[in-house]
Amino acid sequence: MIRIIIISLLLLSGLFVNCLHSQEVSLKGLEQISEPLVKEFIDVLASDEMRGRSAPSIEADRAADYIAMKLKEFGIRSVNGSYFQPIPFCAADLNIENCKFFLTKGSINHPYDLKENFTPLFNTGSNQVQGELVFAGYGITAPQIMMIIKILM
């Protein structure tokens, strides 16, 4: 039994010897990363012009082109001649003509504007709902919210 333990320990110690001769990590690109460079990336990708980079969108394409340009500038090689990898993406077409949202109290009908007051998600259905509405708030103070509460009360 002791012989098996000694042989096992010798074999295991041989595994750890290989770890001592592992390849060193290259840090040559690390010194090129600076606060102004990171700030530039954030300023461009988080700018209002990118409008959140919803997919698929022109802004997402613009952000991808910017990142590809930077990768090329840094000398990072592309894969198969491209910095892009096509992926399948499903998106629903929004029928803007029929996309409406209303809140009604008694005889008062209050319409809300698409993209201004509400934004449907891709899995939004078409339905009519009737019942009581309770506004609990979002923990923020804004005149627009108070106006909505007054309309609904």
pLDDT, tens only, 4-63:
666 666 666 665 655 555 567 667 677 778 889 889 989 998 888 888 767 777 888 898
**What is this structure's pTM?**
0.46
User: Does residue 22 fall inside a structural domain?
Assistant: no
Location of structure tokens 């894969």: 79
- Interatomic CA distance for residues 16 and 14, integer angstroms: 5
Residues 41 and 87 in one domain: yes
65, pLDDT greater than 90: yes
Location of structure tokens 């290259």: 26
Query: How would residue 69 be classed by pLDDT, with cut points 50, 70 and 90?
Result: very high
If 0-12 CB within 10 Å is exposed, 13-18 middle and 19+ buried, where does residue 68 land?
Answer: middle
- Contact present, 101 and 113 (Cβ < 8 Å): no
User: Does residue 107 fall inside a structural domain?
Assistant: yes
Decide which of 62 and 96 is more confident: 62
Q: Cβ–Cβ contacts within 10 Å for residue 63, how many? A: 19
Query: Considering Cα of 87, then 90, then 93, then 99, what sign does the dihedral take?
Result: negative
Query: Considering Cα of 76, then 74, then 86, then 42, what sign does the dihedral take?
Result: positive
User: Does residue 115 fall inside a structural domain?
Assistant: yes
Residues 83 and 109 in one domain: no
In the chain, the amino acid numbered 10 is: L
Query: How would residue 83 be classed by pLDDT, with cut points 50, 70 and 90?
Result: very high
User: What does the pLDDT average to over 102-108?
Assistant: 85
Token pair for 136: 């609990």
75, pLDDT greater than 80: yes
- Interatomic CA distance for residues 146 and 137, integer angstroms: 10
Q: What is the total count of domains within the chain?
A: 2
User: Does residue 9 fall inside a structural domain?
Assistant: no
The parent domain of residue 141 ranges over: 96-152
Residues 78 and 42 in one domain: yes
